[in-house]
Structures are given as C-alpha cells and as structure tokens.
Amino acid sequence: MLALLLAVLTIAAGGATGWESRIGDRVRIQADELGPDWHPGFLNRTRTEPVCYVVLIFAPRASREEAQHLLATIPVSRITRLQVTSAPGSSMQEWGGHPDRVPPEDSWRDVDLAPLRPPSGKCRFDAAA
C-alpha cells in the first residue's frame, strides 16, 4: 500500500516552481496538528491540479527491516515551518521512522513555504486529509 501511495504521489521533475529538485528530500516540519516538535518526513507532491506539495510522516519503527507505516500526510498549506537538510542523504528505507537517525542540527535550513503553497491556499488533497 505504501509503495502504491508513493507511486501515486511521486512525479517526474519539471515545472514552473523550481522546487522539483526538492521532491524526495528528507525534511522536517512543524505543524499545529502534530504538536510543537520537529517531525521528520519526505517531501512529495500530488498529481493533481493545482499541484499540492505534501510531507509524508512515518511512524517510528524499531529496525530498518520492520515495515514502514505511513503516520500522516500533511499538505504544505497546513505546515508552519519546513526545513531541509544538507547532510548526505540516506535512503528512505534506512531513515524513515527512525527517530535516532537525525542529521546534525547545523545541516538544516529553512525553506520558504510560499512557492509550495497553492494560490488558493488549499488544494484538493486538503479535503481528503
């Protein structure tokens, strides 16, 4: 099911926003619905019009062999702060859901959310979330 969701949400690079190079990056977010802490995730976008950028949040897991479980899909319109890391990446399979695999604090940088938000302030995904 997770593979199907990722396949549906993933789209090839290209477009007008210039953020496509960030698709698939490891990010961390703050969103009111998740509480005040940072929540690690995976930046993606939908195949809807208008485009909706989302962050996939995975439930904690004990080992990388354990199956990943999607905990939440948060549209950027509901995110208050987003950061991306410049630390060398690791595969989603290795870090997704592992709270102890955190890049160094000085590797995170803020991302301007404005270009990632739909002009209307909401996207179709918001209704389904």
- 3-class state of residue 13 by DSSP: coil
pLDDT at residue 99, as a whole number: 62
Q: Which of 1, 24, 2 has its CA nearest to residue 11? A: 24
Burial of 4: CB neighbours in 10 Å, binned 0-12, 13-18, 19+: exposed
Whole-prediction pTM value?
Answer: 0.73
CA distance 121 to 60: 30
Structural domain spans, the chain: 2-12+27-128
**pLDDT tens track, the chain, 129 positions:** 444 334 333 333 333 344 444 788 888 999 999 988 999 888 998 887 778 899 999 888 777 778 888 889 999 989 999 998 887 765 666 666 666 677 888 888 999 998 888 777 677 665 544
